[in-house]
Chain A
Amino acid sequence: MKAKILTPEEKLFDGEVGRVILPAVEGEMCLLPKHISLITILKKGLIRIFKPGSEHPIIIKSDGGICSFFSDNAVIILGDFDFDN
């Protein structure tokens, strides 16, 4: 499966992964290949990316964001979502 992490400033990660652990809004969540399609809001916390066969995660800080997962493709968009409306 693939994962991509984007912020307004730069692309933090793009590549093949084994699994991804996310700070989803309703609790920590682990995305593995063939996971059901989903769109979830992310809260503050740490995103852990495990490359295939590796047990050492790449850790990326999340200040909030949104993640979509369709056909083994995770797209994580980070940003400061607190909007005053």
Chain B
Amino acid sequence: MANLKELRNKIGVVQSIRKVTEAMKLVAAAKLKKAEQKAEEFREYAFELSNMLAKIARRSPDTNYELFFGRREVSTEMLLVFASDKGLCGNFNYLVSKEVSGVISGARAAGRKLHFVCIGAKLFEFLKRRLREDEVIDFMSDFYKSSELFDNSRKLAEKIIKDFTSGRVDKVSVVGTKYISPMHRVTEVRSVIPAISAPEDDTDRTETVFEPNIADILKEFVPYNIGIRIYQSALESVAGEQGSRMTSMDGATRNADELLTAMTKKYNKTRQYNITQELVEVVAGASAMMKG
């Protein structure tokens, strides 16, 4: 039988870990609520903007605007990888890394060079290990700070537009998480440049007026839309991370509860055993004395 003191210590440790995981769960739940609301509200904005772009694209198939329609020859592809800055969020980063691995092998099989932009510290080492000598990796620190997230996204958009127009990269994609519910999220790859999304269900075939003209509209809001897409990916990633953290900390708290029940049982049994043992000894001693 295990030592009582040892058991008591173990129970104490599990109890304090349980307190930490429960607190983390509560914090994540509060943060998740905010992040979820933001991501969901923003989805409509991003969707409507992309929808307008798709409508313009449908009505101007011959417009020669690379930022919007993409380049035919792609030799370098930029990957914006959205991971988390902090750990203890279950398999959140693992799922992103798995998705990235798929994209990396696909791009290499097609003979493309890669340029990584790592957003979130947790996957930096992972990406660095997969880097070939002729490839580049950038790291964005403190990207997710909520008060600066929108500006950071725009700055990143400006940077990638510069890289694209100067010819350093020919295609930009995001690898990140799409938030569905606290229990459910999916990792996905989304194209940022070309900015055009899949053709929308757009049955309106009437003549359309563009003011001032298609070229000026594209020039004005395609760069903006790139920033919007990055911001949306970041919001989805933050919500996904908090959801993942909340569910994994909930699981950890439950495991701690199970462990505590089992350990308390064992502790009580041991205690009873020890008392019985002592009683037996006392009784045996007393009866020996009576006989004597």
Contact = CB atoms under 8 A, between A and B. Distances in A.
Interface residues of B, number: 34
Interface string B1-14: 00000000000000
Contact of A77 (B45, B55, B56): B45
7 contacts: A8-B150, A10-B41, A24-B211, A39-B52, A39-B55, A39-B210, A81-B221
Contact of A38 (B161, B165, B209, B231): B209
Interface residues of A, number: 27
Interface of B: 41-42, 44-45, 48-49, 51-52, 55-56, 150, 154, 157-158, 161-162, 165, 204, 206-212, 216-217, 220-221, 223-224, 227-228, 231
A78 B262 CA distance: 58
B55 A41 contact: no
A75 interface: yes
Contacts of B216: 41
Given A7-B45, A68-B55, A77-B48, A36 B220 contact: no
Interface of A: 4, 6-11, 24-26, 36-41, 66, 68, 70-71, 75, 77, 79, 81, 83-85
A10 B216 CA distance: 27
B163 to A, nearest CB: 11
Given A6-B44, A39-B210, A77 B49 contact: yes
A39 B216 CA distance: 12
B209 A36 contact: yes
A71 B204 contact: yes
Given A8-B150, A85-B162, A85-B223, A37 B207 contact: yes
